[in-house]
Amino acid sequence: MTILTLTDLSKRFGSQTALDAVSLSVSAGERVALLGHNGAGKSTLMKLVLGLMVADDGTIELAGHAPGSAVARSLTAYLPENVAFHPSLTGRELIRHYLRLRGQDPRGADALLERVGLGAAARRRIGGYSKGMRQRVGLAQALIGAPRLMVLDEPTSGLDPISRRDFYALLDELAGQGTAILLSSHALSELEARTDRILVLSQGRLVAEGTLAGLRRQAALPLSVFLRARPGQGAALAIAFPEAMVEGDVLRLSCAPPDKLAMLERIAARRDLVADFDLSPPSLDDLYAHISGRAA
Amino acid sequence: MLRRLLSTAGLEFRIALRNRWVAMGAAMMVLFSLVLSAAGAAPAGGLAADPLSVTVASLVSLAVYLVPLIALLISFDAVAGEAERGTLPLHLTYPLSRWELLLGKLLAQLGVVVLAVLAGYAAAAAMAFATGGLRAAEGLAALWRLTWTSALLGAAFLSLGHAVSALSRRASGAAALAIGLWLVMIVLYDLGLLAAIMADDGGRFTTQVFPWALVLNPADAFRIFNLAASEAVDAASGLAGAASSIAIWKPLASLILWPVLAAGLARLSLARVMP
């Protein structure tokens, strides 16, 4: 079931185009990541979805309702980027308030804070929380009332690797219960391959869409091959692989994905010269730079 | 609707308590009230009025400066601060209307102003009873009138603070605007009127425009209403004395309409904010 549908969405600020005819949809239980540089249009897209801004062109439908309408608000949860809750309040007071705003029992606050790992800090003031803890308070308020759509703006920036893993585990759980999740990030490497679909925004346009494996296949970036020569065979190895570049005591070659097996055969044929070899796929950052760079 | 409004108010009041706004406001009012009643106690002997009425007359000229100042100080951050912290867009995605957000804050901050005013006036009244004995009870009606009109004056300036806060979107800019607003409405407005009267020398401005100009400013309306209704007009400053001919319902209507008008202004100003 489709929860969120965007059709030819455009938004301009003066002469600047923030979003240019973007269409996408998110289904129940799907985790979709919106990727892009700062200023690529991610936050603008999210604010349009939340009804905080009005689009210049195109339509948004949220389970059949207009963004910002009373029903749409009751179905949606939001975690803004870099949100700083008032430092004088405790986590518990804040979550109790948000529960009341959504018409829920404020006694549920402790359970929510427990769920994001803040049970022990619930009665302490937010001013004394670490950055990761503050982000968890934000996440706790987004969990209120089992929302149908969660909009998370750079939710993992500033989180340590362990917290990030916990965070994605929580998202898995929510998606399993049918919540549609739209989250943004400025780096592929932050996503940890824990999303179902990745959308790449560049200068307000949707430039790539697919699973991580699919994007990798499309980009067809070369792999890097590293060869280490047997003692005394360095010169002979360099002659056998004339296209290689010398990097310290290893040789570096690049290899297109379809040529992987041929490359292995070449290496195996010269095992008299090769002491060891390594093969590394392009990193997620390389892949992202390639996709967004190609679009620009 | 009421639940969301009250929850917002409760949270805001807690913040005001912990930010020491309540303590600061009350301390300011108590300090100035005590100084004023101590200074006013000496000449009171020659007047026919009871000591509390005399104290109230001097408290009016204190409140006309301090109540708007305290109100603006605690309200200027309301929208701009939330916009800066990033909580404003979050609140606006909740099932919480902009009216509920503003009125919730107004209610909490009005509580702070009322507490400060009560503390100050109670201290002054205690002084009056201590020096004048039971005769001071004659001034209780004037003190009560001063208290509820101070709340109305406070509500007007709290909402004006919210309007300014939504207009500037940055806490620093909002603070500057709030101080500017206080200077213009409380200090420069009266100075301007005074200058105009001197230049006019009893002409059309003094007889036709001036009474209305006084009533239109909530601070002047507050002063006129309290002094005109009081026995101790002799203690009033020149401006209020000059306006003693104004019908009492006019400043009262102004005092009641201003909080409503200012809240409407704040709402319009917040409507323009796209977080």
Considering CB atoms only, which of B7, B19, B92 is closest to A88? Answer: B19
| pLDDT (0 to 100) of residue B133 | 82
Q: Do B274 and A52 count as a contact with CB atoms less than 8 A apart?
A: yes
Among A63-72, B132-141, B163-172, the minimum mean pLDDT is found in B132-141
Q: Is residue A24 over pLDDT 80?
A: yes
| pLDDT (0 to 100) of residue B42 | 54
Binding-site residues on chain A for chain B (CB distance < 8 A): 47, 50-53, 70, 73-74, 76, 78-86, 88-89, 93-94, 97-98, 100-103, 141
Q: Is residue A235 over pLDDT 90?
A: no
Residue A53: list chain B partners with CB under 8 A: 274
Q: Is residue B182 over pLDDT 50?
A: yes
Helix axes B171-182, B140-168, angle to 10 degrees: 140
Strands A205-210 and A197-202: antiparallel
Q: Do B85 and A86 count as a contact with CB atoms less than 8 A apart?
A: yes
Better-predicted residue by pLDDT, A84 or B242: A84
- The widest CA-to-CA distance across chain B, in whole angstroms, is 63
CA distances (Å), origin A158, targets A19, A113, A127, A177, A255: 26, 19, 17, 27, 35
Question: Rounded distance, CA B174 to CA B78, Å?
Answer: 10
| pLDDT (0 to 100) of residue B36 | 85
Strands A197-202 and A31-35: parallel
Q: Is residue B233 over pLDDT 70?
A: no
Better-predicted residue by pLDDT, A283 or A262: A262
| pLDDT (0 to 100) of residue B231 | 54
B3 touches A: beta carbon within 8 Å:
yes
pLDDT tens per residue, range B66-104: 999 999 999 999 999 999 998 999 999 999 999 999 999
- Sheet of A149-152: strands edge to edge? A76-79, A149-152, A180-185, A31-35, A197-202, A205-210
What's the rounded mean pLDDT across residues A32-48? 90
Q: State the smallest CA–CA distance between residue A287 and chain B in angstroms.
A: 32
Q: Is residue A93 over pLDDT 80?
A: yes
Residue-wise DSSP of A178-245: T-EEEEEES-HHHHTT--SEEEEEETTEEEEEE-HHHHHHHHTPPEEEEEEEPTT-HHHHHHHSTT-E
Q: Say if CB B272 and CB B165 are below 8 A apart.
A: no
| Most B CBs within 10 Å, among A83, A97, A135, to test the B interface | A97
| Most A CBs within 10 Å, among B4, B5, B11, B91, to test the A interface | B11
**Mapping DSSP to helix (H, G, I), strand (E, B) and coil, where does residue B49 land?**
coil
| pLDDT (0 to 100) of residue B243 | 54
CA distances (Å), origin A291, targets A38, A187, A210, A220: 15, 12, 12, 11
Considering CB atoms only, which of A76, A81, A100 is closest to B4? Answer: A100
Q: State the smallest CA–CA distance between residue B206 and chain A in angstroms.
A: 49
Considering CB atoms only, which of B11, B92, B95 is closest to A97? Answer: B11
- The fraction of chain B above a pLDDT of 70, given in percent, is 91
Place of tokens 């129940």: A28
| pLDDT (0 to 100) of residue B79 | 94
Q: State the smallest CA–CA distance between residue B236 and chain A in angstroms.
A: 43
Question: Rounded distance, CA B222 to CA A212, Å?
Answer: 68
Better-predicted residue by pLDDT, A27 or B234: A27
Q: How many helices (H) and strands (E) does chain A have?
A: 11, 13
Q: Is residue B44 over pLDDT 50?
A: no
Q: Is residue B117 over pLDDT 90?
A: yes
B271 touches A: beta carbon within 8 Å:
no
Question: Rounded distance, CA B46 to CA B52, Å?
Answer: 14
pLDDT tens per residue, range B200-221: 887 888 878 888 888 999 999 9
B204 touches A: beta carbon within 8 Å:
no
What's the rounded mean pLDDT across residues B228-240? 55
Which residue from A minimizes the CA distance to B92?
A: A52
Question: Rounded distance, CA B224 to CA B247, Å?
Answer: 10
What is the Cβ-side half-sphere exposure of residue A268, based on CA atoms within 13 angstroms? 6
CA distances (Å), origin A241, targets A227, A254, A271, A281: 10, 11, 13, 20
Q: What average pLDDT does chain A have?
A: 89
Better-predicted residue by pLDDT, B164 or A289: B164
Question: Rounded distance, CA B103 to CA B75, Å?
Answer: 12
For chain A, the first-to-last Cα distance in angstroms comes to: 34
| pLDDT (0 to 100) of residue B235 | 45
Q: State the smallest CA–CA distance between residue B71 and chain A in angstroms.
A: 20
pLDDT tens per residue, range A275-291: 999 988 888 888 888 88
Considering CB atoms only, which of A74, A78, A85 is closest to B95? Answer: A74
CA angle (B241, B242, B244) in 5-degree steps = 65
b/e string for A146-183 if b means 16 or more Cβ within 10 A? ebbbbbbbbbbbebeeebbebbbebbeebbeeebbbbb
Question: Rounded distance, CA A194 to CA B237, Å?
Answer: 73
Q: Do B85 and A80 count as a contact with CB atoms less than 8 A apart?
A: no
Question: Rounded distance, CA B205 to CA B214, Å?
Answer: 12
Residue B19: list chain A partners with CB under 8 A: 88
B94 touches A: beta carbon within 8 Å:
yes
What's the rounded mean pLDDT across residues B218-245? 68
User: Residue A132 — left, alpha, or beta (φ > 0 → left; ψ -120 to 50 → alpha)?
Assistant: alpha
Q: State the smallest CA–CA distance between residue B85 and chain A in angstroms.
A: 5
How far does CA A235 lie from the centroid of its chain?
A: 45
Structure ipTM = 0.87
pLDDT tens per residue, range A172-221: 999 999 999 999 988 777 776 678 899 999 889 998 898 888 888 888 88
Name which of A33, A29, A63, A31 is nearest A45 in CA terms.
A33
Q: Is residue B156 over pLDDT 50?
A: yes
**Mapping DSSP to helix (H, G, I), strand (E, B) and coil, where does residue B182 land?**
helix
CA angle (B102, B20, B115) in 5-degree steps = 65
Q: Is residue A295 over pLDDT 70?
A: no
B95 touches A: beta carbon within 8 Å:
yes
Residue B96: list chain A partners with CB under 8 A: 101
Q: Is residue B45 over pLDDT 60?
A: no
Question: Rounded distance, CA A274 to CA A236, Å?
Answer: 10
| pLDDT (0 to 100) of residue B50 | 78
Q: Which two tokens stand for residue B186?
A: 């409380």
What's the rounded mean pLDDT across residues B59-69? 93
What's the rounded mean pLDDT across residues A254-273? 90
Q: Say if CB B145 and CB B60 are below 8 A apart.
A: no
Q: Is residue B230 over pLDDT 70?
A: no
Give the sign of the dihedral formed by CA A198, CA A200, CA A206, CA A207.
negative
| pLDDT (0 to 100) of residue B194 | 87
How far does CA A14 lie from the centroid of its chain?
A: 29
B7 touches A: beta carbon within 8 Å:
yes
pTM to 2 decimal places? 0.87
Considering CB atoms only, which of A52, A79, A102 is closest to B95? Answer: A102
| pLDDT (0 to 100) of residue B236 | 46
Amino acid at B271: A
Strands A250-255 and A245-247: antiparallel
| pLDDT (0 to 100) of residue B160 | 97
